[in-house]
Amino acid sequence: MWNVVEKKITPDLMVDRISHISPELLTKWKLKGVILDVDNTLLSKKANVPDDDIFDWVESIRPMMNIVLLSNNIPSRIHRASMPLDLPYIGWTMKPFPWYFKKALRFLNLCPDEVGMIGDQLFTDILGAKWSGVGKTIYVRPMDLRYESCWTKCMRKLEKKVMLQWTTKSSL
Ligand SMILES: [Mg+2]
């Protein structure tokens, strides 16, 4: 059973920061669209404007990809965060459940395997994307662990355990 879950939370790539993802890789993977998480992926939970490198990264992929923001946070927060980047968004999405991933895919007007998901949580962003058939998943290390909800803090502990297991396995 755990093997099945583990498969669903194992991303194709792990990076320290979203701006470290090369646009060339996304094209090599033949992606035509990306679904981006917001909090702790694009900007920290208390920020409204992304850092310059992240702004530049979005600009570098914008000509090649359809982009939509997908967040469990309330729509007013996501609206504020989406404004400087001028990106469409779907808020209050109940990730990891697949309903809003499906909505995002319909919005992008792409097949699941043409789309990538980028986010900072294994049990919401990565699990939900894989559950919805999204083609590629990229885990980004969270930007700022302060201000997270009690629930997220618990899930982080579980994530930490899983990642420690991965490190141990890979060093064997
Ligand atoms: Mg997040």
CA–centroid distance, residue 119 to ligand 1 (Å): 6
Distance 120 CA to ligand 1 centre (A): 5
Alpha carbon of 166 to ligand 1 centroid (Å): 21
User: Ligand 1 centroid to 97 CA: how many Å?
Assistant: 15
Q: Is 153 helix (H, G, I), strand (E, B) or coil?
A: helix
- 68 lies in which domain range? 2-171
Distance 25 CA to ligand 1 centre (A): 22
Q: What is the largest CA-CA distance in the chain?
A: 47
Measured in Å, residue 4 CA sits from the centre of ligand 1 at 23
For residue 44, report the distance from its CA to the centre of ligand 1, in Å: 9
Q: Which residues of the chain have pLDDT under 50?
A: none
User: Cα of 172 to ligand 1 centre, how many Å?
Assistant: 31
pLDDT, residue 170, reads 77
Residue 78: per-residue pLDDT: 95
Cα 33 to ligand 1 centroid, rounded to whole Å: 19
Coil/strand/helix, residue 89? strand
Domain total in the chain: 1
pLDDT of residue 172: 65
CATH number at residue 150: 3.40.50.1000
Ligand 1 centroid from CA 118, angstroms: 9
Distance from residue 79's CA to the centre of ligand 1 (Å) = 15
Task: Give residue-wise pLDDT tens across range 31-50.
Answer: 999 999 999 999 998 898 99
CA 99 to chain centre: 16
- What was the pLDDT predicted at 5? 85
Tell me which residue of 39, 128, 135 sits closest to 91, measured CA to CA.
39
pTM of the model: 0.95
d(CA 25, CA 87): 21
Measured between alpha carbons, how far is 104 from 87 in angstroms, rounded to an integer?
13
Give the span between the Cα atoms of 53 and 47, in whole angstroms.
15
Residue 73 φ/ψ, nearest 5 degrees: -75, 170
Burial of 109 (0-12, 13-18, 19+ CB in 10 A): exposed
